[in-house]
Amino acid sequence: MLNQDQDYLSVSLTEQSVKVAQVKSSGVVVKVVRKEVSSASVEAFTSQLSAALKGFNTKKMRVLCVIPASVATTKNIEVPSVDPEEIKSIINLQAARHTPLSREEILVGHINLGSYQTNYTKVLLVIVNRSVVRDRLKVLEGVGLDVYKVVFEPEGIARFYAKAMASRKDSAPVGIIDVGPMSTTLVIQSRLTAVMCRSIPIGTGELGFGGAETRDKLVAEIKTSLDSYREEDVDKQPANFVLTSAQTIVKDLQQSLAAAVGVPIQVSPFIDLVKFGGGLKKTVEKDFAEDSLTDILAVAATEPRCEVNLMPEEILLKRNVERQSREAMVAGVLVVLILFLAGFILGAKNYFKETFLKQNLKAKFSGQHEKVLALEDEMRKTKLIRGILDSRLNSLEALRGLYAVVPNDIYLNSVNQSEDGLITINGIAETTSRVYAFVSTLSESKIFNGVKTKSTSGKKDRGKDMIAFEIEFVLNQGDGNEAEVQELSSPKVAGVAGT
């Protein structure tokens, strides 16, 4: 079980096509499919992705959504900290400074490039418009895929070639030039990851029509990128460059590039470094002769080592809440089973003692009445402990109840429960009528009592007029030894923030 190979389903959505690949964690490619897209609408992508997924068993796969360099902004920055959590906090605060978009409109990831002086860390910042990721996730969710991770293509390319070329952390940097149908991705690999990347909107399609002029333009853009890399003092200069394709139109760049960058250029076809299952390689060489597969294969082969995950925070938070709920539920079931077994054992022990006393030893051991009373006292305490444990799940019951009735257009900011059991929720809605409708829904629920609106007020949220509200209620308590449980414990339920 521990050595079982994990299957990844890597999905890339570009303006022209949908590409899907099944790759094992060992790096073996099982299946690759591409479908052309006639328009860039969500409906067109959903239709073509659904067709591409025929023949894939996606139930046990980890789904990866690939974000290309062409839709991302990257920036090399220095952070005054070496603590990973502190670095993450600083980046979240400063990310909006490197883009004209607001913080709410972007998703941020980063690659830690290591410390270079006392208390300073170099970082490759990756910024993507939130709508770009949201649209891709909408397409994947539309065909029933639960995305495990949103990965950054250049990081996967860098890590793949670092492993393929047996690089070490102290090895000299290597430049990687991946020429695709519509764009060229320049990645500099150092310290086994990407330290710089840039997308140039010139691909094999334009090279084929533009001839020498377009080729010279691409070479000039690559040289300009390297000059910026040198001026920013990101890392050492690349010792050599590799071209990821052996297409004739790409190999024609070799001599011009070598003259421009002043270091050797070698052709190291990506497809020759990938392990294919069965006779898949010949099929791929035929069907993808003019395409690059680095976007869907490199990230799948290196996913465990990739640092960037551009999954929206609200989805990650929802998954954490669901995971914690499942863990709490499992823990509760285990506690109940343990208490049941303990009670059963004690009960069986008491039963056999009583039977033995009645049949054989009642007269001889009539003086053991005190022990029987002590045993009954232990059973009473066991029941009380079980009641205490059940009472501590009140906060989970409140969240479960709210999860079942909160509509999609109501957003909760916080859920808090006081020591006396009063639950207060704060949130926003588009209209006051939606707030009162929500209060009515809560009142009709069998698990909430005393539902009332404490306050409502108007507020601005992302430029829209919204209604902020505060609602109070208590949980409907079941029967049991509640008075005795309260004597032994006074559980406190902390506030739980929601989205």
What does the DSSP 8-state code read for residue 69?
G
Signed CA dihedral, 420, 421, 422, 423: sign only = positive
Full pLDDT tens readout for the chain, 499 residues: 344 678 899 999 888 889 999 998 888 898 998 888 888 788 888 999 999 888 888 888 899 999 999 899 999 888 888 888 888 888 888 888 888 888 888 899 999 988 877 788 899 999 999 999 999 999 999 998 989 999 999 999 999 999 988 988 888 999 999 988 888 999 999 999 999 999 999 888 888 787 788 888 989 999 999 988 888 888 888 989 999 888 888 888 888 888 888 888 898 888 888 888 878 888 888 878 777 788 889 999 898 889 999 988 888 888 778 778 888 888 888 999 999 898 889 888 888 777 766 666 666 656 666 777 778 888 888 887 776 666 666 677 777 888 888 888 888 888 888 877 788 999 999 888 888 888 888 888 888 888 888 888 888 877 788 889 999 988 876 544 444 334 333 333 333 333 3
User: Which residue do the tokens 């691409």 mark?
Assistant: 218
- The rounded radius of gyration (Å) of the Cα atoms in the chain is 31
Q: Please give the pLDDT value at position 99.
A: 85
State the Cα–Cα distance between residues 440 and 228, nearest whole angstrom.
Answer: 61
pLDDT, residue 9, reads 93
Q: For 104-262, list the strands marked E by DSSP.
A: 106-117, 120-129, 147-152, 174-179, 184-190, 193-200, 240-243
By the 8 A CB rule, do 175 and 241 touch?
yes
CA proximity to 431, closest of 402, 405, 462, 409:
409
| List of residues 6+ apart from 297 with CB closer than 8 A | 10, 21, 23, 29, 32, 160, 270, 274
Length of the chain: 499
CA 401 to chain centre: 26
pLDDT of amino acid 295: 85
Distance CA 441, CA 454 (A): 16
**In this structure, how many other beta carbons lie within 10 angstroms of the beta carbon of residue 139?**
23
User: pLDDT by residue (tens digit) across 416-449?
Assistant: 888 777 889 999 998 888 888 888 888 888 888 8
Asked whether the whole model's pTM tops 0.85, one would answer no
Whole-angstrom distance, CA of residue 307 vs CA of residue 35: 29
pLDDT of residue 8: 92
Provide the pLDDT for residue 156: 92
Task: Please tell me the predicted confidence (pLDDT) of residue 465.
Answer: 83
pLDDT given for residue 495 in this prediction: 33
Mean of the per-residue pLDDT values for the chain? 83
SS3 366: helix
